[in-house]
């Protein structure tokens, strides 16, 4: 990995020691003993992630994996210091299979970029987070993806996953299938780093309904009517 994708700059380390919300006071972080990022790396391939983890494993260095950093509850904060792995360079779409209904992507791709690209094929994802502009596919999978746009109809992000490429803490690379991918869905990066994902796609909806209201109480009856089964 080139030096241009490795940083120990103080300003960058500060940014990588925060998330989007920055809602946790510095005093509380200090009380919990957060050490902050010591080095940031931006891999482009699964093999680079493997080399980083193998080195960290052999030298007992803590690892924090970061996607879009859009979860504002401290999930990407490097509490124990060490290396922060920014996955956002792994953002390519490798395969779009319209006939069989799946897409292969790098885990660092944002949901918005994926959805915009799928529209050109007349396709869409089943479920995605409300923070799709910045949230990554790998991040949503790693945090469980139990809530989000499309979940009531298509299921959680775990229901959309067909397979994952994962790097274990030792640096070993494995490929999951639909029967064991659930092990890494919602694991918060504790069992390995998701570097690639194969997820279901669906035909693009012909229409999208939107609504707005000025009074919640006045909105309830028409909203219930909208959701009611039609004869």
pLDDT digits (tens, 9 = 90+) for 78-121: 989 999 999 999 999 999 999 999 999 999 999 999 999 999 99
Mean of per-residue pLDDT scores for the chain: 90
pLDDT of residue 207: 65
Positive or negative, the Cα torsion across 203, 140, 136, 194? negative
What is the total count of domains within the chain? 2
Q: Is residue 231 part of a domain?
A: no
Residue whose structure tokens are 């799946």: 102
- Domain boundaries, position 133: 93-203
Say whether pTM exceeds 0.75. yes
Do 188 and 111 reside in the same domain of the chain? yes
Q: H helices of the chain, where?
A: 10-15, 26-31, 46-59, 111-119, 137-142, 151-154, 157-160, 216-227
Do 81 and 100 reside in the same domain of the chain? no
Confidence of residue 212 (pLDDT cuts 50, 70, 90): low
Do 137 and 67 reside in the same domain of the chain? no
| Mean pLDDT confidence for 162-187 | 95
């Amino acid at each position: 990995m080139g030096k241009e994708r490795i940083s120990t700059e103080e300003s960058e380390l500060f940014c990588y020691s925060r998330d989007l919300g920055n809602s946790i006071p510095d005093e509380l972080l200090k009380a919990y003993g957060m050490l902050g990022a010591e080095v940031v790396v931006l891999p482009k391939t699964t093999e680079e992630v493997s080399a980083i983890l193998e080195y960290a494993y052999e030298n007992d260095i803590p690892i924090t994996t970061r996607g879009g950093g859009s979860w504002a509850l401290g999930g990407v904060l490097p509490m124990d210091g060490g290396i922060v792995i920014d996955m956002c360079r792994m953002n390519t779409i490798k395969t779009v299979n319209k006939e069989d209904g799946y897409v292969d992507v790098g885990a660092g791709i944002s949901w918005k970029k994926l959805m915009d690209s799928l529209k050109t094929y007349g396709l869409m994802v089943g479920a995605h987070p409300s923070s799709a502009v910045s949230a990554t596919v790998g991040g949503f999978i790693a945090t469980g993806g139990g809530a989000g746009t499309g979940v009531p109809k298509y299921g959680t992000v775990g229901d959309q996953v067909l397979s994952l490429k994962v790097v274990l803490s030792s640096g070993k690379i494995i490929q999951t299938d639909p029967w064991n991918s659930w092990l890494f869905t919602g694991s918060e990066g504790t069992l390995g780093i998701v570097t690639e994902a194969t997820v279901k796609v669906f035909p693009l909806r012909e229409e999208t309904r939107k609504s707005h209201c000025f009074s919640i109480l006045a909105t309830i009856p028409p909203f219930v009517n909208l959701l009611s089964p039609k004869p």
